[in-house]
């Protein structure tokens, strides 16, 4: 069975890239087709893998400013010649699912989300652009074209896998396609339980506006609670300005995996104030035996068991979060029970479910 892997782009390290790395381990001979890659990222995570890039890789600014080439990405991904392969697995949240395959090739799409800026978040995306209203109108027209292409591209996929029930609903709404849910792999073996719990709450990841870490800062300011924030990103300077003068709030910056595991296992609880499609950090915290305080929406509803592995707040506001923080009792949670729940999302379980899915669909596809 000849397999090819398709990925949107290799320009960052996020949840989608973690899934791709597991696919690479499962299908060691499979090449990776991608719109572009950043060489340091590729050499670090995909050593000895054959990587095939699109024409965008060779264009001026194609890697450092790849968003310039957004209008050309549909065409670029359609240029990939995948005729030699029996199975194509696209790992997609944007364009990768749009590859053209022959009638003899089975295309499975592991969908992290229907493209957010084309569907669920399109109005927010346009409003947040730092352009005048006339240029925003032009961008709106472009997105309308891309939205049509995206829907048609989704019809080329033979079988969809959704990374959560939350995403499966969006796949059905926007693409009119059914999907099977297989949760993403989490390196649960990299985390462990601590006998000694410290006195701080923890939040972190990529510091972007939608992560709503500002909400956590507002809830912690002026209280005796301690907060540690890990990660970096475009929202970092704004968040630091919000926390000025607050000695109980600490920014850790970008930390390595060993440091992150230590912060997880020693915190009172991990806070998830945002709506995520799945939310790997939520599972990582639970793999460390720590409860999660989460906004009741998105993937967290599927990964946190209320009263057993964490608690929810119902409105995305500092006031609602404050209520939970003020009455939170870490002693009522059993670390071993929390960790056992997180093990359901292990890499090993992911591999077993993917292998079973591919086997079943191959039998169905060949009829």
What are the residue ranges spanned by the domains of the chain?
A: 3-185+347-365, 188-345
Residues in the chain: 367
Q: What is the pLDDT of residue 243?
A: 95
Q: Is the pLDDT of residue 265 over 70?
A: yes
146, two tokens: 């891309």
Distances (CA, A) of 257 to 15, 31, 123, 231, 264: 14, 27, 35, 11, 10
The whole-model pTM stands at 0.89
* DSSP string for residues in 68-127: GGGGGHHHHHHT---TT-SEEEEEESSSGGG----TTSEEEEEES-S-GGGTTTHHHHHH
Segment holding 250, helix H or strand E: strand 249-253
Of the ranges 69-73, 132-136, 221-225, 351-355, which is most confident? 351-355
Mean pLDDT over each residue of the chain, to the nearest integer = 93
Q: Is the pLDDT of residue 128 over 70?
A: no
Q: What is the pLDDT of residue 53?
A: 93
pLDDT category at 62 given cuts 50, 70, 90 is confident
The average pLDDT across 72-83 equals 95
Report the topology of domain 188-345. Rossmann fold (3.40.50)
Report the topology of domain 3-185+347-365. Rossmann fold (3.40.50)
Query: Where do we find the tokens 């600490």?
Result: 250
pLDDT category at 193 given cuts 50, 70, 90 is very high
Fold match between 3-185+347-365 and 188-345?
yes
Q: pLDDT by residue (tens digit) across 168-185?
A: 999 999 999 999 999 999
DSSP 306: B
């Amino acid at each position: 069975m000849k397999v090819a892997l398709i990925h949107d782009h290799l320009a960052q390290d996020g949840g989608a890239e973690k899934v791709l790395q597991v696919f690479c381990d499962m299908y060691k001979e499979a090449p990776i087709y991608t719109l572009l890659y950043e060489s340091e990222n590729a050499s670090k995570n995909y050593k000895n893998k054959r990587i095939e890039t699109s024409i965008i890789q060779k264009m001026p600014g194609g890697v450092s400013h790849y968003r310039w080439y957004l209008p050309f990405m549909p065409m670029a991904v359609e240029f990939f010649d995948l005729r030699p392969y029996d199975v194509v697995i696209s790992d997609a949240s944007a364009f990768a699912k749009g590859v053209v395959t022959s009638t003899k090739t089975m295309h499975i799409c592991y969908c992290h989300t229907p493209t957010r800026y084309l569907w669920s978040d399109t109005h927010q995306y346009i409003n947040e652009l730092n352009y005048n209203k006339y240029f925003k109108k032009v961008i709106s027209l472009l997105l309308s074209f891309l939205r049509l292409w995206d829907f048609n591209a989704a019809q080329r996929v033979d079988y969809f896998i959704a990374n959560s029930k939350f995403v499966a609903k969006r796949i059905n709404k926007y693409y009119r396609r059914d999907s099977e849910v297989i949760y993403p792999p989490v390196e649960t073996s990299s985390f462990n339980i601590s006998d000694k719990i410290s006195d701080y709450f923890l939040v972190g990841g990529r510091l972007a506006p939608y992560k709503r870490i500002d909400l956590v800062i507002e809830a912690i300011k002026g209280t005796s609670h301690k907060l540690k924030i890990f990660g970096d990103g475009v929202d970092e300077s704004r968040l630091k300005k919000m926390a000025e003068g607050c000695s109980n709030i600490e920014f850790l910056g970008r930390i390595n995996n060993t440091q992150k595991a230590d912060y997880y296992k020693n915190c009172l609880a991990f806070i998830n104030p945002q709506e995520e499609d799945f939310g790997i950090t939520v599972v990582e915290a639970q793999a460390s035996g720590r409860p999660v305080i989460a906004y009741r929406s998105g993937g967290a509803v599927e990964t946190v068991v209320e009263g057993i592995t964490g608690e929810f707040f119902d409105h995305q506001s500092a006031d609602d979060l404050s209520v939970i923080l003020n009455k939170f009792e870490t002693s009522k949670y059993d670390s071993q029970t929390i960790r056992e729940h997180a093990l359901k999302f292990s890499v090993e379980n992911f591999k077993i479910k993917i292998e079973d899915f591919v086997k079943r669909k191959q039998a169905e596809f060949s009829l």
